[in-house]
Structure 1
């Protein structure tokens, strides 16, 4: 079969040249080095700086606020772990129980497809028997990303028109903008699995009850909680018709301010309603936190962009940067006490593109130099210009064909893969030299009347 194929291409030079041109163009399209042409599209290999050698892993995360690690282990981690053991393709399960939450790491066999494993986990979580977990506890599946998915970190800071830091913003203000504007905008970027907020304070309504007043009115604490919970809801009703027009009837009760909570009725004592403001103080304050984000010794608010499994990290980062430019004009601004106008600005402080470009640049330069040096060595060894050009032309063609295979077999272009290509060039050159010397020897020994095709083949 191989002999017939070689003979066919030797006889049909036009087909051979057309096929070479096809592979050259296709290789340029899939090359990871950012080569741009006006007449060819761009569909490059996924590019990253380092290879992802992590295990085929999924994470199940469960929160149970205020509970000790022992309670988490006994009532959440152990029941979930034993239930998830029956999933097909599971190699091992590891778990961690800490204060307030449980993390379960499900390791699948390498041949198991990533998203297939996620669907099996969701099926198992949805079919858990009633009562196996505490009331109100809901396990969630982690983002569809790997350990190397954190490709872009940023902070949200107040800057003036010249880009200088101004300050003047409270941490809870910046965190609110991050959670309800920046995060949603970046979550919509193609290839982004998750945008995680970090730092600052999450603002919440807080009620400081007076225990002495509760004792006087004989009101238990859970009754206060239920009163506040029931006061924060709308009530639907039927419709009424007036002048042949239908109107919807509903009771409006969602909490929109501190005063709405203060007016919530907790109990009635001697026909007098006891409201929340009568038994405590309602205020806006920061939620409890167990960590912060520090930048150059100052506390800041920021976020982490996680790239989706199988996406092109370089393309994801570029898409995120484009989205940041698009949403930047909509970020809030205010005039500070010193008269300076400060606008919140998204400032990157970890950007993997620099590492990716440096890796690609180093290996691109190494490949080009290696090919040039190899061409000179081949010319010196073979002492035949036609043979040297033939052998040397195999190198870039073979590298471009490797990029095509990497693109469609899902292999990232990273420092390990590109270094392997550089090492393999020596093997390709050796084979080309051996075959070319053999062909040149047969041509020298063959009669002059013999056809070149018969001599070679």
Structure 2
């Protein structure tokens, strides 16, 4: 068959030249260099600068704050690893237990479809026995992208009205802008799987308790934690009808300032309320995540 094709092209040179021109034109149209010929249309093939040659794997991440690596290994990593071994198509499982979290890398065979493996892992995690993991521990499946899918890094910088870089921007302000505005805008873009924020300060309210006053009022830390939680919620009620019109009754209780936390009632004694400000000092305090940076940065991962 090959010899007949070669003989046909040798005897019919015009057909050979036409086929050659078609192949060259098709190559120019799909070349990844975005050439502008002015005649032929351009449809360049996407080429990765760093091809993803990693293994077909999924990551199961579990947090258990304040626990040692040995506790993480015994109560989270080992039970999860033995349960996930039964998933079809699993080649091997690797795990690591660090302070406060566990990472399990599930490597599948190359012929296993990527999103099929994710659905099997989710089914397995949803069917785990109720007493397999400690209370309050929920394993989560990692994003549908690998480390080689990173698109770009960027930083948020304060600028004046002329667009020049200027100081005066607190790292907490930049982190809030990143988490509540920039991150959501980039996450809605096509092909973006995850936007991971790095650095900056995460705003938080800090309650510094006074042990001596807690002892005097016979109040424990659990009572303070419960008071803060219960004071930071909205409560819905029924309706109130006035002049043939119904009005919704709501109890607004979300924390919006330090004063709201200070006025939260912990307990009462002799008909006198004991508030958090009586036994603790409440103030705004930034929390660092993955280091402290002068600029707020992030990485965008493509799916």
TM-score by length of 2: 0.90
Cα deviation for residue 28 of structure 1 reads 3.3
CA contact (8 A) 1:202 1:287 kept: yes
C-alpha separation in 2, matches of 1:127 and 1:22 = 56
Name the structure with the higher strand share: 2
RMSD: 2.5
Cα deviation for residue 232 of structure 1 reads 1.1
Q: Which residue does the alignment assign to 2:300? A: 305
Q: Which residue does the alignment assign to 1:189? A: 189
> Larger relative CO (CA 8 A, sep 6+): 1 or 2?
1
Q: Which residue does the alignment assign to 2:53? A: 53
Matches within 5 A, 1:64-143: 64-143=64-143
Cα deviation for residue 44 of structure 1 reads 2.7
Q: Which residue does the alignment assign to 1:27? A: 27
1:134-186: CA deviations, max 9, x gaps? 22211111111123122311111123456543221111111111111111111
In structure 2, relative to structure 1, the CA distance for the partners of 1:38 and 1:273 (3 Å cut) is farther
- Equivalent residue of 1:153, what SS? strand
Cα deviation for residue 6 of structure 1 reads 6.3
Q: Which residue does the alignment assign to 2:260? A: 260
Cα deviation for residue 288 of structure 1 reads 4.9
In structure 2, relative to structure 1, the CA distance for the partners of 1:59 and 1:42 (3 Å cut) is farther
Matches within 5 A, 1:205-354: 205-293=205-293, 299-308=294-303
C-alpha separation in 2, matches of 1:21 and 1:237 = 77
- Equivalent residue of 2:250, what SS? strand
In structure 2, relative to structure 1, the CA distance for the partners of 1:8 and 1:228 (3 Å cut) is same
C-alpha separation in 1, matches of 2:38 and 2:239 = 63
Q: Which residue does the alignment assign to 1:63? A: 63
Task: Report the structure number with the largest CA radius of gyration.
Answer: 1
Cα deviation for residue 29 of structure 1 reads 3.5
CA contact (8 A) 1:156 1:302 kept: yes
CA contact (8 A) 1:54 1:147 kept: no
Structure 2 spans left out of the alignment, 5+ residues: none
C-alpha separation in 2, matches of 1:62 and 1:85 = 17
Which deviates more from structure 2 when the two are superposed, residues 180-189 or residues 2-11?
2-11
C-alpha separation in 1, matches of 2:41 and 2:112 = 33
1:322-372: CA deviations, max 9, x gaps? xxxxxxxxxxxxxxxxxxxxxxxxxxxxxxxxxxxxxxxxxxxxxxxxxxx
- Equivalent residue of 1:286, what SS? strand
CA contact (8 A) 2:228 2:261 kept: yes
In structure 2, relative to structure 1, the CA distance for the partners of 1:38 and 1:214 (3 Å cut) is farther
Name the structure with the higher helix share: 1
C-alpha separation in 1, matches of 2:135 and 2:82 = 19
Structure 1 spans left out of the alignment, 5+ residues: 294-298, 309-457
Cα deviation for residue 215 of structure 1 reads 0.8
